[in-house]
Amino acid sequence: MAEKFDNLEEHLEKFVENIRQLGIIVSDFQPSSQTGLSQKLNFMITGLQDIEKCRQQLHDINVPLEVFEYIDQGRNPQLYTKECLESALAKNEQVKGKIDTLTKFKSLLISELGKIFPEEMTKYKAIHGDDPPS
Amino acid sequence: MTEIFSTLFGLNDAQPSTGPAGLGFAAGKPPPPMPSNQAPVAAQIPGQLGDEGPTLRKPGAMNEPFYLLRELPVGSDLTGNTNLITYYNLEHAFNKFCGKKVKEKLSNFLPELPGMIDCPGIQDGSSLRSLIEKPPVCGNSFSPLTGALLTGFRLHTGPLPEQYRLMHIQPPKKKSKHKNRHPRPQDPLPPETPSDSDPKKKKKKRDDDPDRKKKKKDKKKKKVSDSQGKLDLEDRLYHF
């Protein structure tokens, strides 16, 4: 899995470096630079071909759209991962609190109902069985 | 209380009713008898409510005195009660992203990428969202450029106009505290331009020092005096 990403990363780095060098040549063009420019343009095309070959290995990778919003705003995409983990932990704690509260409520309710309706509660327990505290 | 409970749920046991006052309720009408169509309605309910949740148990003697008694939901092993971060082995990732401070800018994530990448993509039309909403024309294969096609890439000599010089704009680099950094492979030096030539910059830096200015003045004075001395000698020689 990591090899596929390493391969793509390598091709992208070479592509970006080629484009950067192309920009340097163009920024102050000289007649002697024409062959170099043609070579860089063809390197750009082969770079795009290599990147397209990598596409087949990564067809099952899904990227959340929210990450694109972070990148478009010039923000670090690792912040999205951080916020996902933090919100997952917060929600986990919230749900655990609800489960604990409802478990306590259930045990209290059964004990109080057992005091008020002892016969009915014994019948209820006979039907449902003694539910273990979850 | 139990008598009211029983009469409401259709028990026919004859039990002495204590009366509402005895049970703490105000005087009023006795509870209405069970309507005759109640049982068939109850039989229809499981079919209707079965889609919404746990199925109702069949009404009848087995569930007395309970009228609507649902099956308890099947418990799942994974609930919010377990620490899901630990369950999915994300502790390392959690410590990595949430334990340390993650820098805000995109350039901290991609330090080697040239250009101003911290600016919003909407400003220069390079946003990823626009790429998704308006995807470019795909399907054609990439073929290298032939000689005839390359004639379109013949450029005029000379530097680019200022408005198109995006490559030279770089975000201000912070001074690194670590001295032993892996040196970046040396980039091909860009051709000198009037505004970017290094020796001229060096000359400007040198000119700014006040000490050097004084030294230059002294040198000039010496040169002038030397040259005057030489001229006098030459004049004398010619006159002989």
A69 interaction partners in chain B (CB closer than 8 Å): 129
In this structure, the answer to whether residues A56 and A71 fall within a common structural domain is no
In this structure, the answer to whether residues A125 and A86 fall within a common structural domain is yes
CB contact under 8 A, B84 and A82: no
In this structure, the answer to whether residues A82 and A128 fall within a common structural domain is yes
CB contact under 8 A, B145 and A26: no
Band (A41; pLDDT cuts 50, 70, 90): very high
Q: Which two tokens stand for residue A74?
A: 């010039």
Q: What are phi and psi of A39, to 5 degrees?
A: -65, -45
Q: What are phi and psi of B184, to 5 degrees?
A: -70, 140
In this structure, the answer to whether residues A44 and A1 fall within a common structural domain is yes
Cα B89 to Cα A41, A87, A88, B77, B193, distances in angstroms: 46, 17, 14, 17, 56
Last residue of a domain, one of A43, A61, A79: A61
A39 interaction partners in chain B (CB closer than 8 Å): none
Last residue of a domain, one of A9, A42, A61: A61
Which range (B7-11, B52-56, B78-82) has the least confidence?
Answer: B7-11
Helix, coil or strand: residue B123 = coil
d(CA B221, CA B91): 75
In this structure, the answer to whether residues A114 and A73 fall within a common structural domain is yes
In this structure, the answer to whether residues A106 and A50 fall within a common structural domain is no
Q: How many CB pairs under 8 A join A and B?
A: 152
Cα A88 to Cα A76, A100, B84, B88, B99, distances in angstroms: 19, 18, 8, 12, 15
Length of chain A: 134
What's the pLDDT tens digit per position in B81-139?
Answer: 999 999 999 999 999 999 988 889 998 898 888 888 888 888 878 888 888 888 887 77
What pLDDT, on a 0 to 100 scale, did the predictor assign at position B145? Answer: 85
What's the pLDDT tens digit per position in B134-153?
Answer: 888 777 788 888 888 888 88
CB contact under 8 A, A45 and B97: no
Tell me the β-bridge partners of B105.
A75
In this structure, the answer to whether residues A106 and A49 fall within a common structural domain is no
- Structurally, chain A folds into a number of domains equal to 2
Task: Tell me the percentage of chain B whose pLDDT exceeds 70.
Answer: 42
> ∠ CA(B72), CA(B78), CA(B79), 5° rounding?
70
How many other CB atoms are found less than 10 A from the CB of residue A126? Answer: 9
What pLDDT, on a 0 to 100 scale, did the predictor assign at position B136? Answer: 80
How many other CB atoms are found less than 10 A from the CB of residue A81? Answer: 19
Last residue of a domain, one of A61, A86, A113: A61
d(CA B129, CA B133): 6
How many other CB atoms are found less than 10 A from the CB of residue B84? Answer: 17
d(CA A114, CA A120): 8
In this structure, the answer to whether residues A20 and A71 fall within a common structural domain is no
For the entire predicted model, the pTM comes to: 0.58
B54, B71 contact by CB (below 8 A):
yes
Kindly state the helix (H) or strand (E) to which residue B226 belongs, with its residue range.
helix B210-239
Task: Report the mean per-residue pLDDT for chain B.
Answer: 65
In this structure, the answer to whether residues A71 and A129 fall within a common structural domain is yes
What pLDDT, on a 0 to 100 scale, did the predictor assign at position B221? Answer: 66
In this structure, the answer to whether residues A73 and A41 fall within a common structural domain is no
Runs of H (alpha helix) within chain A: 2-27, 34-57, 65-72, 78-116, 118-128
As a whole number of Å, the CA-based R_g of chain A is: 31
Hunting for tokens 């912040």 — which residue is that? A79
- With a cut of 90, say whether residue A88 has pLDDT above it: yes
Residue of A nearest to B99 (CA): A82
Interface test with B, best of A13, A40, A76, A80 (most B CBs within 10 A): A76
Domain range spanning residue A9? 1-61
- Nearest residue to A74 via CA among B128, B170, B167: B128
pLDDT average, residue stretch A18-44: 91
In this structure, the answer to whether residues A45 and A79 fall within a common structural domain is no
Q: What are phi and psi of B142, to 5 degrees?
A: -85, 120
In this structure, the answer to whether residues A23 and A40 fall within a common structural domain is yes
